[in-house]
Amino acid sequence: METDINVNEMGQVKIAPEVISLIASMAVSEVQGVADLTAGFTGDMLEKVGVKSPGKGIKVQLGENEVLIDVYLIVEYGAVIPELAKEVQRKVKLSVETMTGINVTQVNVHIQGVNFQKDVKDEDKLKK
C-alpha cells in the first residue's frame, strides 16, 4: 500500500512504505551508539542466503497522510539507552517528515539487544 502525499492538478505523488523504511533506516544508522538493526528470524535467514533487506528492523504503518514507525535495534554497550532512543526518534521523525512531507505520529523504539564486541575490542587494545 502506498500513501498519497500530494494531490494537485499535475497528478499524485505516491510513496511506498519501503521508501519510508529506507529513509528511517539511514537516519537510525547516523545515531551514535546504534550497533545494528534487527531483521528478526525470517530476515536473518534471508540475509544468510544473500537476500538483502535495506529497510530491515523498520516497520512502517501507513495511515492516510500519517505514518507510525517501529524501529528494532541493538545498542552498543555503554550507550545511555533513553538518550539514544530519543535521538533515534528525533532523527527518524525529522528525516521522514523533511523528505516525504508525511506526518510521523509516533516512532516506537524497541531495544532488542546489547552489543559488547566493540567494548571487548577496546579492552584488548588497552591490554596490548
Of 30, 106, 117, 123, the one binding other proteins (CB under 8 A) is: 106
Do 88 and 71 meet the contact criterion of CB atoms below 8 Å apart?
Answer: yes
Q: Does 54 bind other proteins (CB under 8 A)?
A: no
Q: Does 40 bind other proteins (CB under 8 A)?
A: yes
Closest CA to 71 of 58, 84, 60: 58
The three grid cell numbers given for residue 121, joined into one nine-digit string: 575490542
Instruction: Give, for 8, the enclosing helix (H) or strand (E).
Output: strand 3-8
Tell me which residues in 56-95 interact with other proteins (CB under 8 A).
69-70, 72, 74-75, 77-82, 85-86, 89-90, 93
CB of 77 to other proteins, least distance (A): 6
* 3-class secondary-structure state, position 113: strand
Q: Does 23 bind other proteins (CB under 8 A)?
A: no
Q: Does 12 bind other proteins (CB under 8 A)?
A: no
Given the complex with other proteins, which of 18 and 70 has the nearer CB atom? 70
Given the complex with other proteins, which of 40 and 62 has the nearer CB atom? 40
Given the complex with other proteins, which of 13 and 40 has the nearer CB atom? 40
Do 38 and 72 meet the contact criterion of CB atoms below 8 Å apart?
Answer: yes
Question: Cα separation of 111 and 73, whole Å?
Answer: 5
Closest CA to 2 of 119, 122, 112, 12: 12
Residues that bind other proteins (CB under 8 A): 40-42, 69-70, 72, 74-75, 77-82, 85-86, 89-90, 93, 106-114, 116
